[in-house]
């Protein structure tokens, strides 16, 4: 069944510990009454799984599961890729900014799984461009790179994060503040970029795959590639100082950077809407990636269709309603490694001592 249409009947048991969560060949469930709500859907059918006895409802299979304002998911999606910050969205919709933050996190987790389900699992045939989008979390003392792997079709295959040490010109007082902060919270791993680029390439390029990879002259990239012995990369480097025109081999990545900054309030220069946690930036980026790959046209004037259409993944641009048609469960999608850590919120921000992870029992 297509991922873009809502389920008419419960498709599997929502309990990840139940045999019928993944294997539905002999699954049985029974109707167990209903309850009424003051928002759509007004009548929610309840069910019970005959294998494990878990109660659930028709709402269990919607991304708005257990949300009081699930009706705001679709409009929040649009706002988050239209450069609004949480408080601006909250003022428009009359809810608190923490509600919008929770909706953003829910959308981000959903989009992480949605993209993982949809992206090609075979070795990409088009040349890929690797680049790091520089931003920061918490304060300018904690910079980070968002590593992006983009195809010539502008399809964003994947992304992850790398913590960086603040560098560049600093006043003596700023150097002293960096020293105090690093003494208290520790320094980021100097090889973070190398390790994270290795993780990203390992995830996107399957074993035995061969890809043409373009990048700037970042020294960590060749080191990351050399650690992946079972893949082969034809690496072409271009200086990042060269003009960023459409003729540049790095244009797909440069254009992606431009569009991320254009549409995400948290990555604008000199903004007060910067991400306070790297995790939040990553989940927002997941929403942006889904919008870019499956909704946003490659050309505003020519109507060429989104990148996923160019790759034959979808036949037409998707709508947000279709993206949010079905709830996706992490255990069924089988995410591992960095994706799993990101999904469950286990990417800590150094300067925040108690980072809350995503540890809900049911609303995963
Ligand atoms: Zn069950």
**Measured in angstroms, how far is the CA atom of residue 331 from the centroid of ligand 1?**
14
Residue-level pLDDT at 269: 87
CA of 11 to the centre of ligand 1 (A): 11
Average pLDDT over residues 286-302: 95
Read off the pLDDT of each residue in 39-59 and give the average, rounded to a whole number.
94
Under the banding of pLDDT at 50, 70 and 90, the label for residue 354 is confident
Same-domain check for residues 151 and 256:
yes
pLDDT tens string 194-229: 999 999 999 999 999 999 999 999 999 999 999 999
Whole-angstrom Cα distance, residue 140 to residue 67?
34
Report the separation in Å between the CA atom of 52 and the middle of ligand 1, taken as the mean of its atom positions.
4
Distance 342 CA to ligand 1 centre (A): 27
The pLDDT of 18-40, averaged and rounded, is 92
Q: Please indicate whether residue 223 or residue 302 has the higher confidence score (pLDDT).
A: 223
Same domain for 312 and 253: no
7 CA from centroid of ligand 1 (Å) = 17
Query: Residue 232 is encoded by which pair of tokens?
Result: 């082969």
pLDDT in tens, 59-104: 999 999 999 999 999 999 999 999 999 999 999 999 999 999 999 9
Q: Which of 263, 294, 326 is the last residue of a domain?
A: 263
* Cα(227) to centroid(ligand 1), Å: 42
| Average pLDDT score over the chain | 95
Q: How far apart are CA 290 and CA 74, in angstroms?
A: 13
Q: Which residues surround ligand 1, an ion (CB under 5 A)?
A: 13, 15, 18, 20, 49, 51-52, 54
For residue 37, report the distance from its CA to the centre of ligand 1, in Å.
25
Which of 239, 263, 287 is a domain's end point?
263
pLDDT value at residue 39? 85
Q: How far is the CA of 269 from the centre of ligand 1 (A)?
A: 49
Query: What is the reported pLDDT for 243?
Result: 87
Do 246 and 157 lie in one domain? The reply is yes
Q: Which helix (H) or strand (E) holds 205?
A: none
Q: How far is the CA of 304 from the centre of ligand 1 (A)?
A: 44
- 15/363: higher pLDDT: 15
pLDDT at 43: 94
Residue range 40-58: mean pLDDT, rounded: 95
Q: Are residues 139 and 190 in the same domain?
A: yes
- Which residues, in sequence order, are CB contacts of 151 under 8 Å at separation 6+? 124, 126, 127, 128, 129, 157, 252, 307, 311
* Ligand 1 centre distance from Cα of residue 45 (Å): 17
How far is residue 197's CA from residue 223's CA, in Å, rounded to a whole number? 9
Let me know whether 259 and 125 are in one domain.
yes
Q: What is the pLDDT of residue 1?
A: 67
Number of other residues whose CB lies within 10 A of the CB of residue 224:
23
Please, are residues 86 and 104 in contact by the beta-carbon 8 Å criterion?
yes
CA of 95 to the centre of ligand 1 (A): 35
Which residues does residue 149 pair with via DSSP β-bridges, in sequence order? 130, 158
Ligand 1 center–CA 31 separation, angstroms: 14
Question: Which tens digit of pLDDT belongs to each residue from 106-158?
Answer: 999 999 999 999 999 999 999 999 999 999 999 999 999 999 999 999 999 99
18 and 135: one domain? no
The CA 51 to ligand 1 mean position distance, Å, reads 5
Of 20, 43, 61, the residue at which a domain comes to its end is 61
Which CATH number is 203's domain given? 3.30.420
Is the pLDDT at 246 greater than 80? The verdict is yes
**362 Cα: distance to centroid of ligand 1 (angstroms):** 13
Residues 68 and 159 both lie in one domain: no
Instruction: Give 30 Cα–ligand 1 centroid separation in angstroms.
Output: 11
Q: Are 71 and 14 in a shared domain?
A: no
Q: Say if residue 279 is in the same domain as residue 255.
A: no
| pTM reported for the whole predicted model | 0.96
**Can the peptide bond before residue 199 be classed as cis, meaning omega within 30 degrees of 0?**
no
CA of 184 to the centre of ligand 1 (A): 47
Q: What integer pLDDT is reported at residue 242 of this predicted model?
A: 87
The count of domains in the chain is 3
How far is residue 92's CA from residue 109's CA, in Å, rounded to a whole number?
24
Q: Is the pLDDT of residue 41 over 90?
A: no
Domain limits for position 29: 1-61
Ligand 1 center from residue 22 Cα (angstroms): 10
Q: Is the pLDDT of residue 174 over 70?
A: yes
On whether both 184 and 252 belong to a single domain, the answer is: yes
What letter does residue 292 receive in the DSSP assignment? Answer: I
Whether residue 112 is found in the same domain as residue 170: no
- What confidence score (pLDDT) does residue 40 get? 85
Query: How many angstroms is it from 55 CA to the middle of ligand 1?
Result: 8
Q: What is the mean pLDDT of residues 259-270?
A: 93
Length of the chain (residues): 364
Whether 133 and 247 share a structural domain: yes
Measured in Å, residue 193 CA sits from the centre of ligand 1 at: 42
Q: What is the pLDDT of residue 362?
A: 85
129 C-alpha to ligand 1 centroid (Å): 44
């Amino acid at each position: 069944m297509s991922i873009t249409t809502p389920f008419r009947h419960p498709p599997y048991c929502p309990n990840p510990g139940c045999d019928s969560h993944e294997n539905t060949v002999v699954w049985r469930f029974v109707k167990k009454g209903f309850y009424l709500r003051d928002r759509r859907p007004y009548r929610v059918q309840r069910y019970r799984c005959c294998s494990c006895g878990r109660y659930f409802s028709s709402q269990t299979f919607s991304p708005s599961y257990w949300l009081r304002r699930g009706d705001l998911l679709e409009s929040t999606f649009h706002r988050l890729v239209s450069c609004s910050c949480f408080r601006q969205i909250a003022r428009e919709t009359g809810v608190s900014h923490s509600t919008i933050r929770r909706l953003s996190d829910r959308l981000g987790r959903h989009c992480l799984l949605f993209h993982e389900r949809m992206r090609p699992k075979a070795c990409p045939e088009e040349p890929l461009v690797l680049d790091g989008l520089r931003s920061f979390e918490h304060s300018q003392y904690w910079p980070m790179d968002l590593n992006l792997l983009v195809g010539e079709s502008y399809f964003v295959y994947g992304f992850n994060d790398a913590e960086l040490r603040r560098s560049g010109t600093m006043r003596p007082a700023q150097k002293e503040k960096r020293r105090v902060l690093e003494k208290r919270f520790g320094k980021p791993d100097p090889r973070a970029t190398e390790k994270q680029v290795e993780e990203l390439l390992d995830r996107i390029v399957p074993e035995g795959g061969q890809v043409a990879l373009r990048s700037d002259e970042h020294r960590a990239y060749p080191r990351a590639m050399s650690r992946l012995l079972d893949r082969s990369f034809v690496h072409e480097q271009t200086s990042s100082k060269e003009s960023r025109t459409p003729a540049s081999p790095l244009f797909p990545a440069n254009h992606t950077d431009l569009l991320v900054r254009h549409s995400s309030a948290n990555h604008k220069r000199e903004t007060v809407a910067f991400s306070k946690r790297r995790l939040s930036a990553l989940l927002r980026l997941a929403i942006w990636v889904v919008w870019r790959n499956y909704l946003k046209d490659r050309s505003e004037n020519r109507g060429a269709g989104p990148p996923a259409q160019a790759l034959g993944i979808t036949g037409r641009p998707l709508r947000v309603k279709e993206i949010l048609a079905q709830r996706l469960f992490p255990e069924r999608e089988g995410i591992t490694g960095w994706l799993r850590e990101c999904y469950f919120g286990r990417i800590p921000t150094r300067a925040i001592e108690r980072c809350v992870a995503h540890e809900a029992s049911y609303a995963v």
